[in-house]
Amino acid sequence: MFTIATWNINSVRLRETLVARFLTEEAPDILCLQETKSPVEKIPLAAFHALGYRHVVARGQKGYNGVAILSKLPIEDAGDRDYAGLGHARHVAARLESGITIHNFYVPAGGDIPDREQNEKFGQKLDFLTEMRDVFHADRPARSILVGDLNIAPREDDVWSHKQLLKIVSHTPVEVEHLGAAQDAGKWVDITRKDIPEGLLYSWWSYRARDWDAADKGRRLDHIWATPDIAGAGHGSRILRPVRGWEQPSDHVPVLASFDL
């Protein structure tokens, strides 16, 4: 059995102590980070190594994007893909000795205007998701786990107000449709919602809210999926809401699940 966590850290160097605290308190076997905002060689790996995370597969760039997989278990680099040809570090994969492949994604946020004619970033987001769909169609994933900040809250109960967010980037029908098409193409199972099928569930709260906890205007942007051949082994899903209240937090919190594999 192993436990996997995903967390958009919003700068791994700025929040090194938060990552170390999380690894100490929760000790997942694998932690997938997004938005590390660092070249790989400048990620503070020594601190994580000291906590038992000796295996790392990562892609980075200066100041933006970046994805990393930290693991107590041996992993090998399973490559990456430049989705939508953006030249961004937004995907990396690693393979466990058991043959399980872990994909760590950071889907573009998409800007503020949900119209590709007016907003190039929104078009890039849709193109990224379309390529995910096409890749999964062409090469159906097996024995795989997909995690990351997918920057879409697909269900009505994944946002604080379905009606008020229908025209807000991350919950628009066109984004939900594109994400659903990518999910369907790989037959991916949403493990979090398999375990917690009902009720409001969030992993992100905006920095703009003065009191994020009281306002509670959250969205579930961070996901853990698995292919059907191993989805039945997934359980114990949790979203660590209290982490949003840590000092100098990311606006995202860790999402975890365990797999009896």
**Catalytic residue annotation:** 106, 149, 252
151-154 long-range CB contacts below 8 Å, 24 or more apart? Answer: 151/106, 151/107, 151/108, 151/109, 151/110, 151/125, 151/221, 152/107, 152/176, 152/179, 152/221, 153/202, 153/219, 153/220, 153/221, 154/179, 154/180
In angstroms, the first-to-last Cα distance of the chain is 5
* Residue 149 labeled ligand binder: yes
Helix residue spans in 139-188 (DSSP H): 162-165, 173-185
* Residue 235 labeled ligand binder: no
* Residue 222 labeled ligand binder: no
* Residue 65 labeled ligand binder: no
Q: b vs e for 20-37, b when ≥16 Cβ sit within 10 Å of the residue's Cβ? A: bebbeeeebbbbbbbbbb
**Spatial distance between the Cα atoms of 103 and 192, rounded to a whole number of angstroms:** 16
Q: Could you identify the residue written with the tokens 């100098």? A: 248
Give the count of beta carbons closer than 10 Å to the beta carbon of residue 233.
15
* Residue 104 labeled ligand binder: no
* Residue 91 labeled ligand binder: no
Helix residue spans in the chain (DSSP H): 16-26, 45-50, 120-138, 162-165, 173-185, 191-195, 212-215, 228-231
Written as six digits, the tokens of 13 are 């160097």
**Binding-site residue ranges for Mg(2+):** 8, 35, 149, 151, 251-252
